[in-house]
Amino acid sequence: MTVTAPAGFEAAGIAAGIKRTGALDLALIVNRGPRVHAAAVFTSNRAKANPILWSEQVIRDGVVSAIVLNSGGANCFTGPEGFQVTHRTAEAAASALGIAAGDVLVCSTGLIGDQLDGEVLEEGVLSAAARLTADGGADAARAIMTTDSKPKTVVVEGDGWRIGGIAKGAGMLAPGLATMLVVLTTDADLPSGALDAALREATRVSFDRLDSDGCMSTNDQVTLMASGASGVVPELDAFTAALVDACADLARQLQADAEGASHDIAIEVRGAVTEDDAVEVARSVARNNLFKAAIFGNDPNWGRVLAAIGTTTAPFDPYLVDVSMNGVRVCHAGRPDRPRDQVDLTPRATHVLIELHAGDASATVLTNDLTHDYVHENSAYAS
């Protein structure tokens, strides 16, 4: 059911012919109301794809009736022609649905620098609009896949309302700058300002802490649409908590499907002065190629952890730090502790605990290891 699990939403996923393989490549998700409130967050990359430039304008009034997503091409660095394709896509949806183009978000994912065919997109949108159903969420989830091996979906039950979601990609880990696209829907009745606050909090502690390979896409977009069809106005805290659950679930699915990865690594930092410090420390490890290659080799190389966190500005004394891997403390107060051969790194799930002993704040960043398959898939894609 995914994005069509909450009342008020219809969706379709079709093969529009953008991908040469004939696979599903275009999704349309429509909010039938009675409310058409929405919020969205976008990539912070200054190199923004055309659909991002378009969608940033659409979301300004907090009103969104539909979203079109295509795989098979990122429509980034494609100039004014590329922007026209995005515009034409939104106009097609507006025409088919009897709504304003300015209430249609557009997302694209695929290779940068390739021009999309506007006619193919337009015909695809019209075709998708004719196939909208209240159980089309599963097809929509498949249609946004690029190198994903499986669709990512989530449903969270609230008290009289629901949140549904679909996602694709894993940060910038997938080849060709494949993108993280997420669409969340809810039949809760909340205004766009509340949706925006909840979405920013949820993405801050979920997708923003998934750092598979440190690369930031030009096309990332996370969208939340609310129909109000449940007639229930939830407490914002309860809604935010459910949205956090939904986003965290999708983030774990993205991590688990990260291309070429053989380990899902949770880097937990405790004892930081602030939560931002904890994130900075965890992220420095998540982005360290030497550490990530060591985990691939099942090597509990804690020296690489300490060398990574030594590059941060977070306040702590490197010579007070403890490091544990999968429950075995291999470094205590900046010195060797239990023998590294006691650490079993053969499971895919890997837990690295870094205790800074500087304060009370903590955070966890999710990442993957650096593997032969990562290099292979990211060197062979476009050539």
Cβ nearer to its own copies, comparing 76 with 194: 76
383 is in an annotated binding site: yes
| Size of residue set near its own copies by CB under 8 A | 65
Say which of 179, 186, 218, 367 is annotated catalytic: 179
Q: Which of residues 21-80 bind its own copies (CB under 8 A)?
A: 44-48, 74, 76-79
The half-sphere exposure of 233 on its side-chain side, counting CA atoms within 13 A, is: 5
CB-CB neighbours of 338 under 10 Å: 15
Cβ nearer to its own copies, comparing 74 with 190: 74
Q: Out of 107, 254, 309, 352, which residue is the one contacting its own copies (CB under 8 A)?
A: 309
Q: Are 6 and 161 in contact (CB under 8 A)?
A: yes
Among candidates 255, 194, 207, which has minimal Cα distance to 42?
207
Helix axes 118-129, 79-97, angle to 10 degrees: 20
146 is in an annotated binding site: yes
Rounded to a whole number of angstroms, the minimum distance from the CB of residue 151 to its own copies is 23
Q: Out of 42, 207, 239, 302, which residue is the one contacting its own copies (CB under 8 A)?
A: 302
Contact between 294 and its own copies by CB under 8 A: the answer reads yes
Contact between 378 and its own copies by CB under 8 A: the answer reads yes
Tokens of residue 49, six digits: 């794809």
Q: Out of 216, 232, 241, 320, which residue is the one contacting its own copies (CB under 8 A)?
A: 216
The half-sphere exposure of 347 on its side-chain side, counting CA atoms within 13 A, is: 11
19 is in an annotated binding site: no
The half-sphere exposure of 118 on its side-chain side, counting CA atoms within 13 A, is: 14
Tell me, yes or no, if 21 is annotated catalytic.
no
Distance of CA 217 to CAs 49, 202, 232, 383, Å?
9, 19, 36, 20
As a dihedral over the C-alpha atoms of residue 259, residue 260, residue 263, residue 266, rounded to 10 degrees, the angle is: -30
Q: Which of residues 109-138 bind its own copies (CB under 8 A)?
A: 111-113, 115
Binding residues for substrate are 146, 168, 179, 259, 378, 383
Cite the active site residues. Answer: 179
Residues in contact with its own copies by CB under 8 A are 44-48, 74, 76-79, 111-113, 115, 172, 175-177, 213-218, 287-290, 293-294, 296-299, 301-304, 306-312, 318-319, 331, 333-336, 340, 370-372, 374-376, 378-383
